Chain A
Amino acid sequence: QVELVESGGGVVQPGKSLRLSCAASGFTFSSYGMVWVRQAPGKGLEWVAVIWYDGSDEYYGDSVKGRSTISRDNSKNTLYLQMNSLRVDDTGVYYCARVHYNSFDHWGQGALVTVSA
């Protein structure tokens, strides 16, 4: 069965960097686009970034553009999100998800990122 497991969350000071990982299993990782979606405490869902199945293209939401990089290692079945210049309003749960028919059909359990001095 499809499984996505995020890791790398934690508490970080404003201005610092953090890298999230998402380990995928149960499907052919290299055949699917992947996304990161975040959710601030008590708020709704916000798409963060998408990467094509082969890593050939990537796009970002306005709130993280220029500060974050999505990448993938298809040999390791792993998705990454490098976040730099973190701000307090980057705090939230970060989910990775698989893209299928222009929707997000499988999600990880989420990784909590807390940006605080």
Chain B
Amino acid sequence: DIQMTQSPFSLSASVGDRVTITCRASQTISTYLNWYQQKPGRAPKLLIYAASSLQGGVPSRFSGSGSGTDFTLTISSLQPEDFATYYCQQSYTTPPTYTFGQGTKLEIK
């Protein structure tokens, strides 16, 4: 089974900061990597699909990159509404397994 490992586990940052979250797959997943944002008590929201494609309606300060086993989610200038937990997810395997990373909690410094 493919394991997804995010780092850091948690992160403190300030409004306006540039933030990067990393996701590593235990084996190559090409660009079958998605990023989600989840706020407390709310359903997850798709931010990035296929490693670098921005989901419609998502602000352009969010970007994704990577391929193979190493991926990053970058927020170019943190806004107050960006403080949340972020999850990566692989969708490479056949049959599907859709493994999520353990999550990265982004908190206000």
Contact = CB atoms under 8 A, between A and B. Distances in A.
Interface string B35-65: 0101000011110011001010000000000
Contacts of B97: 47, 59, 61
A55 to B, nearest CB: 15
Interface stretch (B11-19, B20-28, B67-75, B99-107): B99-107
Interface size class of A (residues with CB under 8 A): 20 to 34
A82 B54 CA distance: 34
A102 interface: yes
Interface string A50-87: 10000000010100000000000000000000000000
**A-B complex: 4 closest residue pairs judged by Cβ atoms:** A102-B91, A47-B98, A103-B49, A107-B43
Interface of B: 32, 34, 36, 38, 43-46, 49-50, 53, 55, 87, 89, 91, 95-103
Given A50-B96, A103-B49, 5 more contacts: A35-B98, A44-B100, A50-B98, A102-B34, A105-B49
